[in-house]
Amino acid sequence: MSSETMVKIENLSVTINGKTVLRNINLEVPKNTIFAIMGPSGSGKSTLLRAINKLWDLYPQVKVTGKIYVNGTDVNKMPPHELRKIVGMVFQRPNPFPHMSIFDNVAIGLRLHKLVKSKEELRERVEWALKKAYLWDEVKDDLKKKAHALSGGQQQRLCIARAIALKPKVLLMDEPTSALDVVSTKKIEENIVELKKDFTIIIVTHNPQQAARISDYVAFIYNGELVEVGPTSEIFTRPKNPLTEKYVLGKV
Ligand code: ADP
Ligand code: MG
């Protein structure tokens, strides 16, 4: 595997209750890029992200085969708490701990994993994460405020701060803006583009325009199969597969 590869997926298949929802997926995600996974609803995008983060392990009805490497290590050889430190996740619906303060939402993972040595270092890291998530200026005067008192867009940026506070290698984002208005969406898209300096980002979207706006590479998944993958500029100007062409033109 190239040292420039952050995530490598080999022959990944997932069956749920005997039904194949992902079939033989092969992908390589280069470091410090934004890699979009696009496809219509039900095509298997979330299933793929959940496989990277081993979130299927607790579901006996789900069978995952194939190999996934993160930063060169087979995720099946990593205990879950080690994987959580190097792979962060942000979901479609902002899901901060609603009754916890802004500060504690960002601090909780750092405390659990004992990633900081002092209160001072904890404060610094929380500030760093909130700044990286473009939220600091809006909340710095009241970090004790409960998360539920924030707007939807602010809550999602808080979830981004919570994920990046651990300084993971990879950030998985599952339709992170689809529950948000256009202004919040634009802010988060700008934020994601900034974040690729520090992280490798895999973002799921059902919106091809979003993939075109922010990603470096894009994989088009349809009906559980990888139809086409490549640099975003190529996929959107010279798609090789007629189905990809239809999809990027908004006709699927
Ligand atoms: P997408 O994120 O592209 O909309 P998903 O990965 O959520 O698609 O779903 C892909 C397929 O897997 C769908 O047919 C869906 O019904 C099925 N599926 C996903 N999660 C589950 C689950 N927990 N139980 C049963 N079927 C599921
Ligand atoms: Mg989904």
What is the ipTM score, two decimals?
Answer: 0.97
Residue 110 CA: distances (Å) to CA of 54, 85, 135, 148: 21, 9, 18, 21
What is the model's pLDDT at position 250? 82
Q: At what angle do helices 102-112 and 119-132 cross, to 10 degrees?
A: 120
Q: Residue range 8-19: average pLDDT?
A: 97
Q: Which atom in ligand 1 lies closest to the alpha carbon of residue 47?
A: 6
Element (H, E) at 144: none
Which whole number is the average pLDDT over 110-137?
95
Q: Please tell me the distance from the alpha carbon of residue 248 to that of residue 177, in angstroms, as a whole number.
A: 19
Distance 19 CA to ligand 1 centre (A): 10
Helix (H, G, I), strand (E, B) or coil at 114: coil
Domain range annotation of the chain = 5-248
- Find out whether the beta carbon of 47 lies less than 6 Å from any atom of ligand 1: yes
**Nearest ligand atom owner, CA of 59:** 1
What pTM value is reported for the model? Answer: 0.96
* Span 55-62, average pLDDT: 93
So what's the pLDDT on residue 62?
Answer: 97
Q: Supply 234's token pair.
A: 């190529």
Strand order in the sheet with 62-70: 19-30, 5-16, 62-70, 73-74
Q: Where do the DSSP E strands lie in 84-169?
A: 87-90
Q: Ligand 1, atom 26: nearest CA belongs to which residue?
A: 16
Q: Inform me whether the pLDDT recorded for 35 exceeds 90.
A: yes
Which CATH number does 5-248 carry? 3.40.50.300
As a whole number of angstroms, the distance between CA 115 and CA 204 comes to: 28
Using 50, 70 and 90 to split pLDDT, how confident is the model at 1? low
Ligand 1 site, residue 22, Cβ cutoff 6 A: no
Q: Is the pLDDT of residue 187 over 80?
A: yes
Ligand 1 pocket test, candidate residues 41, 46, 61, 223, most atoms within 8 A of CB: 46
Closest CA to 71 of 56, 51, 87, 50: 87
- Give 233's Cβ-side CA count (13 Å radius): 1
Whole-angstrom Cα distance, residue 177 to residue 180? 5
